Chain A
Amino acid sequence: MKAAEAIIKSLINENVDTVFGYPGGHILEVYEALRKSNIRHVLVRQEQAAAHSASGYARVSGKVGVCIATSGPGATNLITGIATAYMDSIPLVVITGQVNSSKIGRDMFQEADITGATESFTKNSYLVKNENDLPRIIKEAFYIASTGRPGPVLIDIPSDIQAAKIEKTDIPETVDIRGYKPTTKGHVGQVKRAVKAISESKRPLIIAGGGVLLSHAEGELLTFVEKTGIPLVHTLMGKGSLPSLNRHYIGMIGNHGFSEANRAVAKADLLIIIGTRVADRAWGGIPEKTTEDVRIIHIDVDPAEIGKNVGTQIPMVGDAKTILTQMIDRIDTTDRTDTDEWLTQLKSFEGTVKCRKTGFVNPRYAMETLSKKLNDEAIIVADVGQNQIWAARYFEDRIGRSFLTSGGLGTMGYSLPAAAGAKIAAPERQVIAVVGDGGFQMSLHELGTISYYNLEIIILLFNNSRLGMVRELQDRFYGKANAVELDKNPDFIKLCNAFRIEGVRITTDSQLEDAFEKAIKHKGPFLLECVVDPDESTLI
């Protein structure tokens, strides 16, 4: 068979039923093979959206997301999407076309060195030189993308290779890469030390990150928390790891987190860090802390993250789900430290959040209202900026709910295409894309995709006619804002109508209830534009 057909055969073998892409001259063979198959192809409106949609799809389905683009500009447009997935550790397999292999390096039409360009944000990449390698390469790519610390893998396939005939089409049964052997199980000695440290501590605290969600360890985390009574804070990417109403839940840490959560980290004598690299945004809000005052347990599947940002006494390399299970098995409830006093102390830190009464919609109140109206399986996909922070701070997490955002790279325009991918992965779940007027305009072309496939998504647009977060930072540091005015925004309702999407604009809090009712009941995509005060801030 032709190599392109073998590629499709391999994808089917990997349980792929949906791909996101945008065809072009140097990927025609793959698209022809795709046409003959049962794999659903979702046509986006720009390749960056293909990567974001595959990312949203991967996060909701738990499968590896697949996106396809042609050579040259098609591939380079994917770069931001690939980097976004890399920073948040999302499993993606990216397939790009490439010019004829004998012509590579001669600056052909639509030629670009995509493997070189994406070197720093892929787990691995392949420039296919021999068509017979394809079944093995695809098998390896899926394995690498989905194991250890997940991440994007790129396969660049020249057009002549796509068209070539393959002799052996057998897909290898197993993958054996001697340079890649991720650790899943925690070292028994370290688990013992960790459990001992927990029993000796007086003010223990769990910091949960995105790794808990990637490992699908929410259940084990809940059991662990209930068994030990240890309070929990989380990073932005760790939102959803524990339900917000759980009595051990304190809140989100970081620059835009809640002060009680940051204070908890500052006061703890034992930090149990699970599945987060505690990067600058999460650690930034915490007062200066020395490692003599506090013991740190760091659990992560990527050994390079341990010791990178924070010094650790008890490192544990392995999968969060597996290690939590190991610890749960070892913990004797009679050894349990009495954490009630510590928990009470933490709850007493809770600051009061004043809700400003202005003549606009209050985004905090909007998120709280929405939280109550949505069901327990709802998915919120936040963009980047103030809208992201309001969504993260005020959307209530429950078992079954999901919160998706670009936390690591902070890519504006993530929300619309990722929401599309999420909805395609889980058509029966409520999907809400939260976005600002800046981020909306970065990927509004995806209204075309959303409309074409009639994806029932609620687009919650916080329109403050500003690049809000930048404005807030400029005001804080310089006292004056610059180059952030979007006062001549288009009429977003009319814009959506042009894409055959209905919408409604509200300007006061009193209109929220009815607007949400309407949006939730509406069959098909719906824009809910909330006019927000340009001076509204994320931190009081």
Chain B
Amino acid sequence: MNRHVLSVLVENQSGVLSRVSGLFSRRGYNIDSLSVGETEDPKVSRMTIVVSGDDYILEQIKKQLNKLIDVIKIVELDAEKSVFRELAMIKVNTTMETRASIIEIVSIFRANIVDVSNETLTVEMTGDESKIEAFINLMNNYGIAEVVRTGLTAIERGNKHIKNQIKGEEE
């Protein structure tokens, strides 16, 4: 089972998110994460969907997504040729003694502290999945109160952009 990252341009209409996620659930495909937002064109939104599956499932997912009227274009993003990023906010338990060393780790990771209280410290971090996982693992030693993550979003490196590419498969 491989992980694939699909970048999908959709019409910014109400119900699109429901249609896409509905399609996945009723056909039994696994969504690992889904993030969506507006693009430079306010009528168009872009979804980044991380799916697990073999080649047959991936091909079917792309084809079924293409059938949706609101889906404009689908591109599969290759980890080596794209930038993958995720935003995470981690609320870490702190004590007088541990606070300094936590702050040290935060600066090593070049993350930001966005909130402080008597017992907690909230860290905001963007990075690829491995960076975020690494940070969380370190913070586990101190005790994590809460984590909120956006899921992956991605963009291709270089000159190419999604609108240039041909929609879907060419048979």
Contacts and interface: CB of A to CB of B under 8 A. Distances in A.
Contacts of B14: 127
B171 A317 contact: yes
Contact of A180 (B15, B60, B69, B170): B69
Interface string B148-171: 000000000000000000011111
Contact of B69 (A123, A127, A303, A307): A123
Given A190-B171, A308-B60, A316-B171, A119 B19 contact: yes
A303 B22 contact: no
Interface in A104-120: 115-116, 119-120
Contacts of A124: 69-70
B66 A303 contact: yes
A177 interface: yes
Given A119-B19, A179-B69, A306 B171 contact: yes
A123 B68 CA distance: 7
Nearest to B62: A304
Nearest to B22: A119
B131 to A, nearest CB: 35
A178 interface: yes
Interface in A183-209: 183, 187, 190
B72 A307 contact: no
Contacts of B15: 115, 125, 127
Interface string A310-340: 0000011100000000000000000000000
Given A115-B15, A190-B171, A315-B171, A304 B22 contact: no
A302 interface: yes
B146 to A, nearest CB: 31
Nearest to A311: B56
Contact of B70 (A115, A179, A307, A308): A179
A303 B19 contact: no
Interface string A118-137: 01100111010000000000
A303 B169 contact: yes
A304 B18 contact: no
B72 A179 contact: yes
A181 B26 CA distance: 24
B60 A304 contact: yes
A303 B171 contact: yes
A339 to B, nearest CB: 27
A144 interface: yes
A303 B68 contact: no
B18 A303 contact: no
Contact of A187 (B26, B67, B167, B171): B171
B69 A144 contact: yes
B71 A120 contact: no
| Interface size range of chain B in the complex | 20 to 34
Contacts of A119: 18-19, 22
B59 A307 contact: yes
Contacts of A116: 18
Nearest to A115: B15
| Interface size range of chain A in the complex | 20 to 34
A120 B72 contact: no
A180 B70 CA distance: 8
Contacts, number: 51
Contacts of A144: 69
B11 interface: yes
A302 B18 contact: no
A183 B167 CA distance: 12
B3 interface: no
B126 to A, nearest CB: 31
Contacts of A302: 67
Contacts of B63: 303-304, 308
Contacts of A190: 171
B29 to A, nearest CB: 13
A178 B15 CA distance: 17
Nearest to A305: B63
A136 to B, nearest CB: 13
Interface in B68-122: 68-72
B39 interface: no
Interface in B1-38: 10-11, 14-15, 18-19, 22, 26
A307 B22 CA distance: 22
Of listed A123, A178, A181, A317, residue having the most chain B CB within 10 A? A178
Contacts of A317: 171
B137 interface: no
A177 B11 CA distance: 10
B171 A304 contact: no
A259 to B, nearest CB: 31
B66 A304 contact: yes
B7 to A, nearest CB: 15
A250 B35 CA distance: 53
Contacts of A180: 69
A308 B169 CA distance: 14
Contacts of A115: 15
B128 to A, nearest CB: 30
B26 to A, nearest CB: 6
Nearest to B70: A179
Contact of A178 (B26, B72, B168, B171): B72
A518 to B, nearest CB: 49
A308 B70 CA distance: 22
A187 B171 CA distance: 8
Contacts of B69: 123-124, 144, 177, 179-180
Contacts of A179: 10-11, 68-72
Contact of B22 (A120, A127, A183): A120
A277 to B, nearest CB: 12
26 contacts: A119-B18, A119-B22, A123-B67, A123-B69, A124-B70, A127-B15, A144-B69, A177-B69, A178-B72, A179-B69, A179-B70, A179-B72, A180-B69, A181-B167, A187-B171, A302-B67, A303-B63, A303-B66, A303-B168, A303-B171, A304-B66, A304-B67, A307-B59, A307-B60, A308-B60, A308-B63
Top 4 A-B residue pairs of the complex, sorted by shortest distance between their CB atoms: A304-B63, A317-B171, A124-B69, A179-B72
